[in-house]
Amino acid sequence: MTQTNLARSAPQDETTWWRHAVIYQVYPRSFADNDGDGIGDLPGIASRLPYLAKLGVDAIWLSPFYRSPQHDGGYDVSDYRDVDPLFGTLADFDRMLAEAHRLGLRIIVDLVPNHTSTEHAWFREAVATLPGSAARQRYIFRDGKGKDGELPPNNWQSIFGGNAWSRAPGDSQWYLHLFDRSQPDLNWDHPEVRSDFEDVLRFWLDRGVDGFRVDVAHGLIKAEGLPDWAGQTSMVEGEEGAHSNNGPMWDQEGVHDVYRRWRQVLDEYDNDRMMVAEAWVHPPQRLARYVRADEMQQAFNFDYLLTHWDAQAFRDVVTRSLAVSAEVGAPTTWVMSNHDTVRHTSRYGLSVPGARPKGIDAAGEQPNEALGLRRARAAALLTLALPGSAYIYQGEELGLPEHTTLAAEHRQDPAFFRTSGEEIGRDGCRVPLPWQSAAPAFGFGPGTATWLPQPVSFARYAVDRQEGDAGSTLELYRAALRLRRQRDLGNGELVWRDAEPGVVAFANGGVHVVVNTNDHPVALPGGEVLVSSVPLDSGHMLPANSAVWLG
């Protein structure tokens, strides 16, 4: 098929832009609200594009805005080819995309292929037909075990807690859902599932998108026979080793055929379109298989996200990540936060700095906000100096903390409900952004409504408070992104420098980066200070928990 592609006018700069791009994640519900219903929308995003252009990022990844009953923040899609009225219309999308391209920003959209919503036409058709019907083959329906099939077909658990199998009311068969019961897993052995998703890719490529973030990329294919598994299902390779992602639902060989085919589809288009895998797999060599030359261009580096505030750990993860991706000729990515994890600003302020609790509530350990922010600012100078592609989660550039005292009555994450509150969940990192410190809802929308309440502390982090203040986190990000671009650090080469314990030091291009993770100052090598995460008074010492770029 040849695409018409009339709307396309993306930035025409260098090729393989994604090798070094800084990509900003927008979580549409919480970015900017234009119509005042308390939920962010596409016109809201469009209105803030100049802010993102000024920040100095290259591209934007939009979490889902498709038609959805919103049982998992839109990761439960009922129509992949339409915009949910909550977020606007297809025309709003086109306008937003055109404006982004005019400003030199590329747009990546989220693709959710592992499961649909139970409201998707296919699933409605499936449950309206009898066991054995063709419509049921698009999902993973099975008869139950036990005398009357009253037991689930196997022992798999949902990532959000509880059983991974449910029955529609009155239905004799069970359907698999690795996530919420409103998110039935598709059967990727079905040719129609494959061809329809190719068509979805083309739908958005024809509209002019620059790429896709592929949700749960490691989950599409399940092991033959759906064998029982003794391990515990989890999105994250657990630090304690209790969780593991080597179960029969993860990282099966067959997923790669899907991405090879999708790559062929992308390659039919101009302008270097890309895909990035969300694949929580381990070890890194397994992740590298998603970014082989004929598959995706990028994969999120979650090992980096999971790294604690520790110089040796940073050195190790950077060295390993660069080596493993180089083996397959792919760029490395660097990511510290997203809509599924406690914001790193808060994680770095915990007694185990960088630990990753599954949400924080008022009963949990409260992070040291000032220390977490101080370390997060230093970590920004580490991340943005590394060669490869860096991801920024909305609000990170403001130093925004997690909302750690959100009351249970406001929580919406299905993981909170499916674990009866044992997992606090992800709402605390999804709170609507503060744009104006003195405005209702901190300027998130025209009125007072916000779908999650904002903590009062957000006033301090509002964009208008930070803009023009040289010591602010926003201006730190702007300065670092400007230098990163000027010095082409994303395309650079990292050379480690000797450093004392607790210090990460390397050169990239002409920039010498020093990160002090210690709680005490360390001697600073000579050189012109290009940017620093704290004011450098003496010029000879780098204070505790801070970082500097020297020229």
Residues that bind ligand GLC (CB under 6 A): 72, 75, 112, 179, 215-216, 235, 278, 339-340
**240 Cβ neighbours under 8 A, 6+ residues apart:** none
**Torsion angle in degrees (nearest 10) through CA of 225, 229, 234, 239:** -140
**283 Cβ neighbours under 8 A, 6+ residues apart:** none
Measured distance CA(438)–CA(1) in Å, rounded? 53
- Spot the catalytic one: 92, 110, 215, 427: 215
In angstroms, what is the minimal distance from the CB of 229 to ligand GLC? 19
Q: Which is nearer to ligand GLC, 173 or 412 (CB)?
A: 412
In angstroms, what is the minimal distance from the CB of 387 to ligand GLC? 26
Tell me if residue 99 is catalytic: no
Name the nearest CA neighbour of 106 among 16, 11, 232, 179. Answer: 11
In angstroms, what is the minimal distance from the CB of 77 to ligand GLC? 9
In angstroms, what is the minimal distance from the CB of 75 to ligand GLC? 3
Tell me if residue 422 is catalytic: no
Q: Which is nearer to ligand GLC, 10 or 217 (CB)?
A: 217
Q: Which is nearer to ligand GLC, 278 or 397 (CB)?
A: 278
Q: Which is nearer to ligand GLC, 216 or 542 (CB)?
A: 216
Asked if residues 179 and 75 have their Cβ atoms less than 8 Å apart, the reply is yes
Name the nearest CA neighbour of 478 among 61, 58, 57, 60. Answer: 57
**192 Cβ neighbours under 8 A, 6+ residues apart:** 138
In angstroms, what is the minimal distance from the CB of 375 to ligand GLC? 25
Asked if residues 262 and 198 have their Cβ atoms less than 8 Å apart, the reply is yes
- Spot the catalytic one: 268, 270, 493, 500: 268
Q: Which is nearer to ligand GLC, 223 or 236 (CB)?
A: 236
Helix orientation angle between 369-383 and 473-486, rounded to the nearest 10 degrees? 10
In angstroms, what is the minimal distance from the CB of 25 to ligand GLC? 10
**Torsion angle in degrees (nearest 10) through CA of 515, 518, 520, 524:** -30
Asked if residues 392 and 379 have their Cβ atoms less than 8 Å apart, the reply is no
Q: Which is nearer to ligand GLC, 52 or 112 (CB)?
A: 112
In angstroms, what is the minimal distance from the CB of 24 to ligand GLC? 16
Asked if residues 440 and 487 have their Cβ atoms less than 8 Å apart, the reply is no
Nearest position to ligand GLC, beta carbon: 75
Asked if residues 347 and 367 have their Cβ atoms less than 8 Å apart, the reply is yes
512 backbone dihedrals φ, ψ, rounded to 5°:
-105, 120
373 backbone dihedrals φ, ψ, rounded to 5°:
-65, -40
Q: Which helix (H) or strand (E) holds 529?
A: strand 529-532
Q: Which is nearer to ligand GLC, 56 or 161 (CB)?
A: 161
Residues involved in catalysis: 215, 268
